[in-house]
Structure 1
């Protein structure tokens, strides 16, 4: 039984920062087990956050330069973490940061050059997990469901509330998963317009009231009517959602309250459409799981359909970094880490590119 010692890196669409999770991962009787040994979150400085947010607008040459410099930054942050904690790391598995996601055009792009990351850290790197699936006519997303199946298969539904909400579950012997819609991306956009990083615990949203016109506009977005597999990225948010928020003249607390109800409306619809009874277990992770008002609102909308289960804080915050560590392990073992039933690709794949330090 080999125990892989791997560092998972995750930077999500909510732009909060970089999550690092040093994990031990091993298989036991055909089941995968894990131990999250050490973790760290690195908050983006304002300049980095702005550059990442605006990277979709960069000219091609500037984007490629940023791809390389951001890869070096990831490598430096990894090395600092490894040295601080005196870790023995065999591989780094990096998601990178998604700047462009247009699977309908055969395009997905995550910055954070694997070669620059490997050179700066001095450690082998596995990254670029999405491109191969898109080349196989898949969505390239979501990727976390392989971890949901192998690590958290005892729950009926696994819901991630990051910048985007996505869900995964088993149906007819296959793992299904797709992006539901908005989560922290809209909440953080609203607070950052006022110079506030985020709505801690959802307290500002709790104090607000629903803006019915804004809620109707959000719930009417065309994406929610599309069949899955489906996924969205920051471009969709900028094009379709930002105009709705910007034209709604209301207090920040009301905008936040409305957005929370919108998020929960869409999640509840998807859970109810894929249940055949009551008392299902809905496992919730991602930064949104720390928003107490959001979780309470979601539970109220699901009533007896599903019990919302929120795990310990470490797993909430670092589940995605853990799963990318697992994806790195599966790539190293040349086993499937991207599921066609999730992405709509022609076939399952063992995706990711390996870079050696030099």
Structure 2
């Protein structure tokens, strides 16, 4: 991966860490930049221990003793973050003193910009202690304080990597949620969360099969889309809201899924009819594809290419459905542009850490709805 240099802080090494709403673990990327161009030097991944994953998932909804539980979970998250950092340093044979900063997004458990807050579980001081590297964290809060959604924060980074001077491009990141970046020649990027990504798919798959996700979408591909069920799902008011907008597990969660399943006689328990179970999965996959495609039709009708990244890019059935919904548009993965699908968001937070140290704005006000450009994050020195 390479992208054009931008004026700012001195050249150096930066690490980005990302653990998204899919809760599949932590991805870390080591970057060198900014001049003459940003280069990816390494990638590492660590899955969450089962107990930590379950606790992070549980903390997305109200429960007992949340303050204590979230503090303990934050320490566990910092330990996994540190493991990823040490793996990156070892593989690249780099000393902690050579790295200028780590950008650590934290784990979103509540996102309520309508109430003026967003909450990412994190322990950046612990991470700085464990690694001996300065940490930049809490990227969303300043944008929310300025009246923004605090998300998505990646469109400016997407513009730098995937933007083209001769055509309009959409970057579709499919993590637990799905978000779009609309990149047009000569114009600032646009972007918003378009709806669920993998979260509902993974939830239903785990309920029915015991597996955390549907590998390559093969289980769901054997199902049939129930168009009446899909129409019910697409009636969700969020899909019709104008941007700027953002969403998360506060909306698309087990309660949402059960409310959708209930009228069709289904619950969150195992379904005895295997074909019916696969039909639900196929319909949920179509929901992710069609909600994204509808957003692209409405807000980026001139797009000639859609670059897909995030864990959802590994779902072949989802990519096929996106292609069917976007005839005449080239749909492909970010790998073709030199950046692995699981590295894009982590790389973005390394870049945002550089922006913080450079005193450069990390948000795009036209994307988030903030009152203006803001330097994002808080610094925890080594």
In 2: Cα distance, 1:347 partner to 1:112 partner: 26
Equivalent residue runs for 1:1-358 within 5 Å: 2-28=10-36, 33-56=37-60, 57-58=62-63, 59-88=66-95, 89-154=99-164, 156-170=169-183, 173-193=187-207, 194-238=209-253, 241-244=256-259, 246-247=261-262, 248=264, 249=266, 251-277=276-302, 280-304=304-328, 306-312=329-335, 315-357=340-382
In structure 2, the gaps of 5 or more residues are: none
Is the CA contact (8 Å cut-off) linking 2:143 and 2:376 kept in structure 1?
yes
Distance 1:100 1:275, change over 3 A: closer
Following superposition, the deviation at residue 257 of structure 1 comes to: 0.6
* More moved, 309-318 vs 189-198: 309-318
Please state whether the residue corresponding to 2:130 is helix, strand or coil: helix
In 1: Cα distance, 2:285 partner to 2:229 partner: 12
Distance 1:69 1:207, change over 3 A: closer
Following superposition, the deviation at residue 70 of structure 1 comes to: 2.5
In structure 1, the gaps of 5 or more residues are: none
Deviations 1:205-227 (A, max 9, x none): 11101123321221110101111
Please state whether the residue corresponding to 1:126 is helix, strand or coil: strand
Please state whether the residue corresponding to 2:359 is helix, strand or coil: coil
Please state whether the residue corresponding to 1:190 is helix, strand or coil: helix
TM-score (norm 1): 0.92
Is the CA contact (8 Å cut-off) linking 1:282 and 1:309 kept in structure 2?
yes
In 2: Cα distance, 1:258 partner to 1:25 partner: 43
In 2: Cα distance, 1:162 partner to 1:99 partner: 15
In 1: Cα distance, 2:373 partner to 2:251 partner: 27
Please state whether the residue corresponding to 1:90 is helix, strand or coil: strand
* More moved, 335-344 vs 165-174: 165-174
Cα root mean square deviation, aligned: 2.0
Please state whether the residue corresponding to 1:49 is helix, strand or coil: helix
Is the CA contact (8 Å cut-off) linking 2:106 and 2:120 kept in structure 1?
yes
Is the CA contact (8 Å cut-off) linking 1:74 and 1:112 kept in structure 2?
no
Is the CA contact (8 Å cut-off) linking 1:218 and 1:244 kept in structure 2?
no
TM-score (norm 2): 0.86
Please state whether the residue corresponding to 1:270 is helix, strand or coil: helix
In 1: Cα distance, 2:228 partner to 2:255 partner: 16
Deviations 1:251-291 (A, max 9, x none): 331111101111111111111123455x7111111111111
Which one has the bigger strand percentage? 1
